[in-house]
Every structure is written in structure tokens, then in C-alpha cells.
Amino acid sequence: MTGDLLGQNPRFESVPEVRELLNSVGYLADDGLSGVVYLADRLAKPVLVEGPAGTGKTELAKAVASMTGARLIRLQCYEGIDEAKALYEWNYKKQLLRIQVEKGSAAWEQLEENIFSEEFLLTRPLLEAIRSPEPVVLLIDEVDRVEIETEALLLEILSDYQVSIPELGTIEATQIPMVFLTSNNTRELSEALKRRCLFLHLDYPTVERERAIVLAKVPDISEQLADQVARIVRSLRSLDLKKHPSISETLDWARTLVILGIESVDEETARSTLHLLLKYRSDIEAAAKELSAATAASTAPAP
């Protein structure tokens, strides 16, 4: 089935177009990332996006949905998620009510056929994405948190883009959604799932890229302050912390500095606002010891 739809109605004409579109919705991408998105569309393959938490994996799927005008359907994974939460389940309360109402007035075979119909079907994200007649971006977030059995279910669906419901038959996709699976590497994913996907690794950005992100996302910030923010955050990420600052936390810190009217970050300012970047007491204490060197380095002329 995927072969029949492969290559039909491509969303993008070129890698530069993908990069330009991503930039237009505020997601600063390079040619490598844009190339993976382009190939995902042309090859009708899911993209497995791995990397540390807070590096823009989820935002990539949101940006692709925004730039294409597609509907974003999100499956947030967690330990213990099963088919009923990911794919579909029957509305048992409504079925029971129908049985009680029609008890004695219809043969069981007829009643069974009625209660296992579309009227009683509760669709979950995976089935919703398969059934949608309109363009869809399916985000399967934190796939590394699911158990092996659920991972096998995902693999089966993403291989053929179809779902078999015993009572209703096989439901095939009329259009192949763009699929993004994100992973924070909390466990190793199966080789079968990895083979099915294109791979993209997103690490923390370079100082230059994070400065550009700050300038794009934080109104009224000066280039000097954006550079300081990016370089201090980079220094903090080099420390052995329980949780390194994410890009969104960098942006929160930058916005706070602008609101407070800070034009240049000194050691005292950095210490008093560390809680915006770091969320563990031990991390804040460790970072405070390094702030003197970090703030001094951030005020030095850029190479």
C-alpha cells in the first residue's frame, strides 16, 4: 500500500525549500536536518529523532505541521501505554447501555453487529492519523518510554500504514502521514524500528546557532546580550549536571533578562537567575561555583 502512495503529491520541491519553510515558522534548520525532512516526504518514511531532552525534537514535528498546514496528531508515550490508549478501544459504557435498551427486542447476532460499529469506536492517535483524509503530521513523542510490545505495535502500523480491527476489517491510509518519533535515549530501541525510520540526531546547538535562535525568538534583545546568553549556557552545559539547560530554558532566561532591563550579564545577575536555567539544587550549587569564569568568558570578544 505504501508503494502505491510513495512519491505522490510531494510536499516539497527541494532541500533549500524545506529549510526556508522551517525558517519561516521560526525553526532554524541546517541543510542536514532539512534534507532528512525532504527525504521523509519523498520516501514516505518515519523520522526517528534522537538526542538529549530540550534540543528541539518535538518542536521539529510542530514546525513541519505548521509550515505544511497539516494537522498535528500527538501520541505522548509513557510506561504502560497500550493499544487501547495508542490505537483504539470500544466505548464499553455506551455498548452496555445499548444492550440494556435492546435486551429482548433483537437477536444477539444482530445486537453484536450493532454495538461493534463506528458509533461505538473510540479512536486514539495512531488510528486517527491513519483514518484522516487530510494531511497529517503524526508525532510519537518519547517512544523510548514504551515497552517492547507497544514498540512492536508501532512498527507494524508504520510498516504498512494500515490497521486491522477484527469487528470492522482493515483500515488503510488514503494518504501517508509524515511521522516523527522522538527519543531521549533512555533505552535502546529495536533494530527493526530503527531500520524502518530515517535517523536524525539533534544535539545542543552551537553557540552561534543558539545565539541566532535567541535573536529570532526573543523580541528586543540585543546581539551582545544574545551572545552572552548563548555562551554562558554553553559553559553550563559543559558541567556534570543532572539536567542541562534546554533551548526553551535558554529562551526563558533571555526573555527574563530583557524584561528586567539587563543589558549585560554579570556574575551577580547570573547567580540570581540561575533557577530559570537549572531545576535541581545540586546543579545550581555546582553552576554557581563556575559562574565567575563563565561570565568572564562571555564578556570577552567573540573569536
Check pLDDT > 50 for residue 21. Answer: yes
Higher pLDDT, 290 or 2: 290
Contact 184, 142 (CB under 8 A): yes
- For the segment 172-197, the average pLDDT, to the nearest whole number, is 92
- For the segment 280-294, the average pLDDT, to the nearest whole number, is 83
Cα separations in angstroms, 2 against 21, 71, 161: 26, 20, 7
What average pLDDT does the structure give for the chain? 89
Band (pLDDT 50/70/90 cuts) for residue 164 is confident
Check pLDDT > 70 for residue 292. Answer: no
CATH hierarchy code of domain 2-83+124-201: 3.40.50.300
Check pLDDT > 70 for residue 197. Answer: yes
Check pLDDT > 70 for residue 236. Answer: yes
Check pLDDT > 80 for residue 107. Answer: no
- For the segment 153-164, the average pLDDT, to the nearest whole number, is 87
Cα distance between residue 106 and residue 92, in whole Å: 19
Check pLDDT > 70 for residue 106. Answer: no
